[in-house]
Structure 1
Amino acid sequence: MKHLYVAAALATAISPAFAGERWLVYAGGDKPSRLFVVVDETYLDAVPFADKTYKLETITILENAKAPDWVSSNMIIDCGRNTLEEKLIQISPRGGKLTTAPDQPAQPPKNAVGEALIAFACDMGPKDSAKRLAARKADQRERGWMYLGPLTTADVGDLAWNSMWSDGKRPASTPRSAAELEREMASLNARREKALAEANALAGQTVQNEKAEAERFAQAQEPLRRLEKRRKREYAPVRRALEPWIGQPEAELLRVWGAPTKTEDRSGQRIVSYYQRVVDTVYAPTQGCPAGQSPQPVNGMDKPLVCAPMPGPVSWERVSECTAHFELHGGVIVDYVTQGAKAQYEQPPCSRVFGKTD
């Protein structure tokens, strides 16, 4: 903890030119193989099309003289799966040109450094700019984190040796020229942009594939969805008569039903409609009496009923009207709906026109 206070004091004195917003997230290990790990908040962002996944740029300063001076990489942190994937790994030897290392696949953390990176990314990644600013001002040292401010890579190395490892001797290194550093940074930026473009393209393709699969599933479920709606919308006699027409071609419908009352084409679908009207005669119930008669109290209310002529009409016409609309896609019937007013004494609608009894 004492070393963190020293690091904080020294970090405020470093020039911010060409620097990223650095956080110390891990400082540990045993001498002479201690590690000083910082991340750049500038590049901490959500990975497109991925849930609870963030990208994080890291720099690790290594104390051991036989190890590289520093190693940088891009981490893809999946907070849902608790994994980290390392990409764009660059190794800076203690003299000479930068080298690269193969990308590492997503895997659970293997050590305290991996655990620290996941904890930081999953805590800070979802925060907006205001909350991140508040986090910078807060004392995070109990968590092993500390906001260092705008530091360059060289500044980070100096900070590690001047604050955390002041009890050791910094290994000699051959500094690279400004031109070499510029070329190396240009190469890093090109690799970063290429990797980001590839990741975005892959994520975009994944989203498109998932969308296409969802559409295929929805299409497969569409007949069942329509059937369920018909069960709620149409009465059983109508369904028994019209359900066999699902999947039949339009030509067969026209052959059996004849010319339609109306046709309509709209938005890739075709509606073929048939209007029918049924008229029949309904006779008043005679309750065992001869036609035109019914039991009546002709001899008084306290006497047995006898058959007598009905005082009102003995029969009348009953009119039932209904329209069946068939919906066709690609020349095949995929659905139907009936529409008609309820006729007197008739339940349910359209049953007498198009319905079929058991």
Structure 2
Amino acid sequence: MPNPGRVASLIGGLLFASSAHAADSWVIFTGGETPNREAWVVDAQSLADRSDLVGFLQRATPAEQNAYLKQLRRREPAKPGDPVAGPEPVYEIQVNTVYENATKPNRLVRKYWVNCSQNSVAIRTSLIQWRDRPMENVPPDKFEPQAEAIAPWQVQLVRFACLVGPDPKAKAPAEMMKRGFFSIGDVGQSPVDFIWASLWKDGKRPAFTYLPGDAEMDRTVRSLEATVARGQSETSKALDESRRAANRVGRNNLMDLWIGKTEQEFVRTWGPPDRVENGADGSRTLYLHRGERVQGLNAYGHVVSDVNNRCDITVLTTDGYVRDYATQGAACAQQLR
């Protein structure tokens, strides 16, 4: 016999990887009158920085790029008057929308990207849990476009993400309550039970009239697993590109000349790499270093001098050709001319 509990497990555990940690749920908005009440619940543990570094680097002027690089290298707080630049702050966050009315879904489970500078929200993943029909994994081409946060729940979502995203310690319950955020703690994979037990005690909870079979749930598992894998792959590629782009900004050195040339040519000129990693997609990552770090020690073993002339070079090749590179080290500007 089908196990209805699997439905909640599929939603919480597959579509969103946040099931690996305890939830930190907050009610950010409630609206409507019975029997049409709705509640919006976010999981603070799902907050993740998704700032568009690549987009910033593509649009920024050379002065803005240099200002951003200086910020990255700065060890002390910025001084008054120092130029500030960087990608617009964007945060990803999981949102559960719970519905009281029996004709609406039991809940929507979505991930949004919140752009703090633009005061906008955009759907990234969306799953509908119906009471009378199968779960619906909404394809990306059906998502609503990025929109300005105008609806009250959207305004609260932006406020929450842009407050807690930069500073997770900002979640002092008393202060959050003043802003309209109510902590409900770890409610597991779904906040629906809590909403009905604590906020809608005077309402009549609609029953589930549809119970999926095991075969259908297995198909849902495969579909959601594919969604997760696709999202993780896209995120990984974006992060890798961001890191490489950040390393290349402001330089015009010989490494740029190697993009598009063969790996064989590169190795023939630079010598065998110190280490090679083979990717599952057929790509290869070559690791090389130039220069050394030399530390001088006194008779007691204490460091009395430290000269770091090392530059680490990472080269990504695909189908035998150099596609990209990254460098790290204070001496790279001198080593790679």
TM-score for both structures, normalised by structure 1: 0.48
Instruction: Identify if the C-alpha distance between structure 1 residues 192 and 109 changes in structure 2 by more than 3 Å, giving closer, same or farther.
Output: farther
Query: In the TM superposition, what are the counterparts of 1:77-156 in structure 2 within 5 Å?
Result: 77-101=114-138, 102-128=142-168, 131=169, 135-138=171-174, 140-154=176-190, 156=191
Deviation at 1:59, TM superposition (A): 0.6
Q: Distance in 2 between matches of 1:136 and 1:185?
A: 37
Corresponding residue for residue 97 of structure 2: 60
Corresponding residue for residue 72 of structure 1: 109
Q: Which has the larger displacement, 81-90 or 39-48?
A: 39-48
Q: Matched residue pairs, number?
A: 199
Query: In the TM superposition, what are the counterparts of 1:12-51 in structure 2 within 5 Å?
Result: 20-47=23-50, 49-50=52-53, 51=87
Instruction: Identify if the C-alpha distance between structure 1 residues 199 and 17 changes in structure 2 by more than 3 Å, giving closer, same or farther.
Output: closer
Q: Distance in 2 between matches of 1:19 and 1:65?
A: 29
Gaps of 5+ in 2: 1-18, 54-86, 255-289, 291-337
Q: Distance in 1 between matches of 2:47 and 2:98?
A: 20
Q: Distance in 1 between matches of 2:110 and 2:201?
A: 26
Q: Distance in 2 between matches of 1:105 and 1:181?
A: 29
Instruction: Identify if the C-alpha distance between structure 1 residues 212 and 80 changes in structure 2 by more than 3 Å, giving closer, same or farther.
Output: same
Q: Distance in 2 between matches of 1:178 and 1:39?
A: 30
Contact 1:49/1:204 (8 A) holds in 2: no
Q: Distance in 2 between matches of 1:158 and 1:58?
A: 16
SS at match of 2:161: helix
SS at match of 1:197: helix
SS at match of 2:146: strand
SS at match of 1:162: helix
Larger Rg: 1
1:168 aligns with 2:203: yes
Instruction: Identify if the C-alpha distance between structure 1 residues 109 and 38 changes in structure 2 by more than 3 Å, giving closer, same or farther.
Output: same
Contact 2:105/2:128 (8 A) holds in 1: yes
Q: Distance in 2 between matches of 1:186 and 1:90?
A: 14
Instruction: Identify if the C-alpha distance between structure 1 residues 192 and 26 changes in structure 2 by more than 3 Å, giving closer, same or farther.
Output: farther
RMSD between aligned residues:
3.4
Corresponding residue for residue 237 of structure 2: 201
Amino acid at match of 2:136: T
Q: Distance in 1 between matches of 2:111 and 2:145?
A: 12
Amino acid at match of 1:35: E
Gaps of 5+ in 1: 1-15, 220-266, 268-358
TM-score for both structures, normalised by structure 2: 0.50
